[in-house]
Amino acid sequence: MNATRAESIRLDQVRRQFGETVAVDRLTLEIPAGELVVLIGPSGCGKSTVLRMINRLIEPSSGRMFLGEEEITKSDPVKLRRRIGYVIQNVGLFPHQTVRENVATVPRLVGWSKAKANSRVDELMTLVGLEPSRYAHRYPHELSGGQRQRIGVARALAADPVVLLMDEPFSAVDPIVRARLQDEFLRLQGAVGKTIVFVTHDVDEAVRLGDRIAVLSEGGHLEQYGTPGQVLSHPANDFVADFVGSDRGIKRLAVTPIPVSNLRPLPAGAPQNAPSVTQTESLREALAALLEGDTGWVAVRPESPRPSDSALRPSGTGSKVVRGEPTAQPAVALPEGGTGSEQAALGMLTLDDIYTALRAAAA
């Protein structure tokens, strides 16, 4: 798979009106290639309408849309859709086809050979965590809800699209499965690097997944567009503040990286079972570990690089914490006779340190 095959999306004064009702009103939005942008807002704000206009299932009433440098409002809509993956809430797998046949739908349509299509199916099923030899011959009714959703994502990626559109893809599964799918999806995006437009009504999901969040109000008005940290730290207006919730300060913990360069040295004789997190986790995980322990601090340890991880992004204002290969950090100087746990740690955070880091990220 070509992980760099992605295109930017640009909407220029796009409007969609149904009779007297304006669903989307002069929306201008630019989505960089390879980023995951979440559209969020209340019911009736035009989130799904925007997706359907991008792949021309609905035609805009006015305005222009671009995929890279190409103005897609003038493109052949059928050819356009074959370059765009689309994942919907209830998956939409063909019940009379096997998993292999479902995933190979678009490759067959664009004329791939059977051997090439089968190879692609095996690659994608492995990528989404479903062993081809075990699942490829099954029918959709023989899969769990989470497995069907994974197959829906694999089918959307089958012809190596430049853009992936996702309309509340995880909302139909229970919270435990949803959290697992979100984790797997972040891992998958780290591998394929597609431009993704993701619709959800769940603020926590938007914060967890999005590189950027576009908050829409009724009529498709863009109220704010920024990183999760920016939206949570500095809501553009009362509408955004109310929508993201009064607990936005707590939500910010999940998008604020651990300040590795400002760690305190561990105390002498730190216990082996002291609470700890890795340096690539967020302040949310650090606070949770601190509260679970009884030390009053949490150790921060280095994380060995793994091929499936992506790097910590530069923090900046409101940057998103992304798992990955850690940047090289020197181990802290430890007192003589320190424990093995202590020697492996980079340092520690107290509750005051977490509060200070959270405030600094919002400045």
Tell me the per-residue pLDDT of 22-70, one tens digit each, with 9 for 90 and over: 999 999 999 999 999 999 999 889 999 999 999 999 999 999 999 999 9
Given a contact cutoff of 8 angstroms between Cβ atoms, the answer to whether 305 and 280 are in contact is no
Q: How far is CA 55 from CA 50, 87, 178, 321, in A?
A: 9, 12, 26, 30
Q: Are residues 215 and 311 in the same domain?
A: no
Pairing of strands 347-350, 297-301: antiparallel
For 155, list phi and psi in degrees, rounded to 5: -65, -40
Where a domain ends, among 253, 285, 320? 253
Same domain as 155, residue 234? yes
Domain's final residue, options 253, 281, 313: 253
In this prediction, residue 332 carries a pLDDT of: 36
- Answer yes or no: is pLDDT of 3 > 70: no
Q: Is residue 86 part of a domain?
A: yes
Collapsed DSSP state (helix, strand, coil) of residue 110: coil
Per-residue confidence (pLDDT) for residue 128, from 0 to 100: 85
Distance between CA atoms of 195 and 51, rounded to whole angstroms?
13
Q: How many residues does the chain have?
A: 363
Share of the chain above pLDDT 70, in %: 87
Do both 35 and 120 map to the same domain? Answer: yes
Average pLDDT over residues 333-358: 70
Q: Is residue 78 domain-shared with residue 204, that is, in the same domain?
A: yes
Q: Show the domain range for 315.
A: 256-362
How high is the pLDDT of residue 149? 85
With a cut of 80, say whether residue 282 has pLDDT above it: yes
pLDDT of residue 91: 65
Q: Is residue 1 part of a domain?
A: no
The domain boundary, picked from 201, 236, 253, lies at 253
Q: How many CB atoms lie within 10 A of CB 205?
A: 19
Q: What is the pLDDT of residue 288?
A: 93
Q: With left for phi above 0 and alpha for psi between -120 and 50, is residue 347 left, alpha or beta? A: left
